[in-house]
């Protein structure tokens, strides 16, 4: 027996995953639940689209199944594609808005200013270290809490300075 069930579904031209559940309710009656899911759609409203439920005998479902599901499923598919397109356009508009560009520019300037402050403090500490003013150099180092991205560099410098003004009692520097 040859059927054209899958060709007919393919001809509906849907975007997403089609889930079909076939349940027998009484001896000769069935319920077919058809749900279209499109996980590519970022809008959570897609989850509120209910399944399409058809009831009838096997013969009634054979005769009217595709006529009953085609328009609603195409509408739901188009809606989810449109929602995703809208979400993408909204995101693009937001990125291109003057306010967002201004925010991005401000963030970049703030980042550059913070890096300059870090480098200046590090240079000052290095100059003091060259003058063998290790306590002052240690104090001039930037604080890890202010520059967590540079924590490893700061701690290494602190350790170097501490070796000069607060030697460990447990190191093997015994002469």
Residue-averaged pLDDT of the chain: 86
Q: Is the pLDDT of residue 174 over 50?
A: no
Asked if residues 150 and 118 have their Cβ atoms less than 8 Å apart, the reply is yes
pLDDT in tens, 31-85: 999 999 998 888 888 888 999 999 999 999 999 999 999 999 999 999 988 988 8
pTM, entire model: 0.50
Local confidence band at 92 (pLDDT 50, 70, 90 cut-offs): confident
């Amino acid at each position: 027996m040859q059927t054209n069930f899958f060709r007919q579904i393919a001809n509906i031209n849907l975007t997403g995953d089609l889930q079909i559940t076939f349940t027998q309710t009484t001896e000769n009656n069935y319920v077919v639940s058809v749900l279209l899911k499109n996980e590519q759609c970022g809008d959570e409203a897609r989850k509120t689209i209910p399944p399409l439920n058809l009831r009838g005998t096997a013969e009634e479902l054979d005769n009217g199944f595709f006529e009953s599901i085609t328009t609603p499923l195409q509408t739901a598919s188009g809606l989810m594609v449109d929602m995703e397109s809208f979400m993408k356009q909204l995101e693009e508009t937001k990125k291109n808005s003057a306010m967002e560009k201004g925010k991005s520019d401000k963030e970049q300037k703030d980042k550059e200013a913070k890096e300059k402050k870090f480098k200046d403090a590090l240079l000052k500490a290095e100059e003091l270290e060259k003058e063998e003013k290790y306590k002052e150099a240690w104090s001039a180092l930037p604080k890890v809490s202010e520059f967590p991205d540079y924590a490893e560099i700061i701690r290494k410098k602190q350790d170097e300075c501490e070796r000069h003004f607060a030697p460990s009692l447990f190191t093997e520097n015994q002469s």
